[in-house]
Amino acid sequence: MTQRIDYQQQSPELFRKFVDFSLALRQSSIEQPIRDLVDIRASQINGCAFCLDMHVKEATIHGERPLRLHHLAAWRESTLFSPRERAALAWTEILTRIPEQGVPDEIYERVRTQLSEQELSDLTFLVMSINAWNRVNIGFRIVPGTYDKAFGVDRSGLS
C-alpha cells in the first residue's frame, strides 16, 4: 500500500490546531500510563497500524511493561490491569464502537465508580482524539514508522 495525500501539507492550519489539541491532553487529569493504554486499545480496535506502532513505541519509552502491552487486546481476561485502567479501557471501547443504542447505563455507572466527572470528561476527549487520528491515518494510508524520528519514538528500541 502506498500513502495517499499528505494531509499535513494540504491542511496545515487544521493539522496544527489538532496537534495542539492532542498535546493539551497531556495536561489532562488522565495519567500517562492510561493515556498510553487508551491510544493503543482504540488503535487496535480501529486497525490503525500507524497509530498502533507509534503508541506502542511511546508506551515502551514511558516504561510500560511488554507483557501488559501483549495483554491489552484481552484486558478483560488479564489480571494485569487495575480497576481504574479497566474502566478507562471499557469507556474507550464503548466510545470507539458506539453501539446503535448508545452507551449503556451499566458501563457508564461502572466507569463512574473509578473516575471523577472531570476525569471522565478528559478521558472522553482523549478517546475522541485517538479515534480522529486513527481515521485520518487510515484514510490516507500513513505508513507505520514514517515519523518515528520526528515524534521521538525511534528511542523505543523497537523497529
Q: Please report, for the domain that includes residue 36, its CATH number.
A: 1.20.1290.10
- Give the Cβ contact number of residue 77 at 10 Å: 7
Domain membership flag for residue 119 = yes
**Is residue 155 assigned to a domain?**
no
- State the average pLDDT over residues 67-77: 98
- Of all residues in the chain, the percent with pLDDT exceeding 70 is 100
- Residue 23 C-alpha cell reads as 498535546
Report the number of distinct structural domains present in the chain.
1
Closest CA to 38 of 62, 3, 6: 62
Task: State how far the Cα of 103 lies from the Cα of 11, in Å rounded to an integer.
Answer: 33
Q: Is residue 97 domain-resident?
A: yes
Tens digit of each residue's pLDDT (9 = 90 or more) over 17-43? 999 999 999 999 999 999 999 999 999
Report the pLDDT value the prediction gives residue 1, as an integer from 0 to 100.
78
For the entire predicted model, the pTM comes to 0.96
Dig out the grid coordinates for 54 from the structure.
507509534
- CA atoms of 147 and 101, how far apart (whole Å): 38
Question: Has residue 154 been placed in a domain?
Answer: no
The answer to whether residue 8 is domain-embedded is no
pLDDT tens, residue by residue, 81-106? 999 999 999 999 999 999 999 999 99
In a domain, residue 157? The reply is no
For residue 90, give the C-alpha cell.
471499557
pLDDT digits (tens, 9 = 90+) for 104-122: 999 999 999 999 999 999 9
Of 150, 155, 123, 146, which is closest to residue 53 (Cα–Cα)? 146
Residue 49 maps to a domain = yes
